[in-house]
Amino acid sequence: LRINETNNRSSQIFDMNHLKECIESDHVCQGGRLELIIDTKMNFGLFHKNALKCSICDHATNLTNFPTRSNGIQEPNHCIYSAGAISGIGYDATHFLLSLLGLSTPHRANFYKQVHNLYDQLFYFAHQDFLCLIDDVRRANQCELNVVMDLTVSLDGTWKKRGHQSLYGMVFLIEAESGALGQFVARQFVADNLSRTIRRMDSSSHSQFVA
Ligand SMILES: [Zn+2]
């Protein structure tokens, strides 16, 4: 395997099983070698498009650093967005760490858009779950849909940070009779420039996560 010269420093993370499969299944003429051509197209965040070329007949095949997903977000970028959503680490810290390794981060706007997408999905899931639980409680109490039901509930919660500096928190609501009802509230206030990001986004994509 020969690697072509590149002027710019470029690091890529590779899915090694995918790389192995691509090299093993790639065409190479008898007595020829495979040449790795780096970044045949502009990378998107952590996802890179390269090529493998036969040194004898010049036949080239695409080699991406992760298996290509035909629609949706490519795997390494999805991992970064998920890590951002789970940890609450903002764009600047993520970008700094990745750039130390020569890795490029997806653009800030994409980062926040996708992190908020994940929160919206989580909110949707929690909301549906909440509605199911309400139905369960209504059925258990034989309460009609149009009747307002009296309930005794216990509410408790926790915040990652106290006071007005809260990044996000969680609230548990428990119905006293059955103990069945649980729900959480997750508000996320990303420290770096969330308001600036929100201004750029449409109003539907930054719902607050309050049920
Ligand atoms: Zn060939």
ipTM: 0.97
Kindly give the distance from the C-alpha atom of residue 13 to the centroid of ligand 1, in angstroms, as a whole number: 27
CA of 58 to the centre of ligand 1 (A): 6
What pLDDT is attached to residue 75? Answer: 96
DSSP for 97-141 reads HHHHTTPPPPPHHHHHHHHHHHHHHHHHHHHHHHHHHHHHHHHHT
List the alpha helices (DSSP H) in the chain: 16-25, 75-87, 91-100, 108-140, 194-200
What is the whole-number distance in angstroms between the Cα of residue 24 and the centre of ligand 1?
Answer: 14
Ligand 1 centroid – CA 9 distance (Å): 29
φ and ψ of 74, to 5 deg: -70, 150
- Centre of ligand 1 to C-alpha 81, Å, is 39
| CA–centroid distance, residue 47 to ligand 1 (Å) | 27
| Contact partners, residue 137, CB within 8 Å, separation at least 6 | 143, 149, 151, 175, 178, 180, 181
pLDDT at 2: 65
* CA 80 – CA 188 distance, rounded (Å): 17
Instruction: Give me the amino acid identity at 44.
Output: F
Domain ranges of the chain: 2-64, 120-206
Note down pLDDT in tens along the chain; length 211 residues.
666 666 566 799 999 999 999 999 999 999 999 999 999 999 999 999 999 999 999 999 999 999 999 988 999 999 999 998 888 788 999 999 999 999 999 999 999 999 989 888 887 887 888 788 888 888 888 888 888 888 888 888 776 655 555 556 677 778 777 776 665 555 554 434 444 444 443 334 333 333 3
> How far does the centroid of ligand 1 lie from the alpha carbon of residue 5, in Å?
21
Neighbour-count burial of 14, counting CB atoms closer than 10 A to its CB (0-12 exposed, 13-18 middle, 19+ buried): middle
**Which residues line ion ligand 1, judged by CB < 5 Å?**
29, 54, 56-57, 59
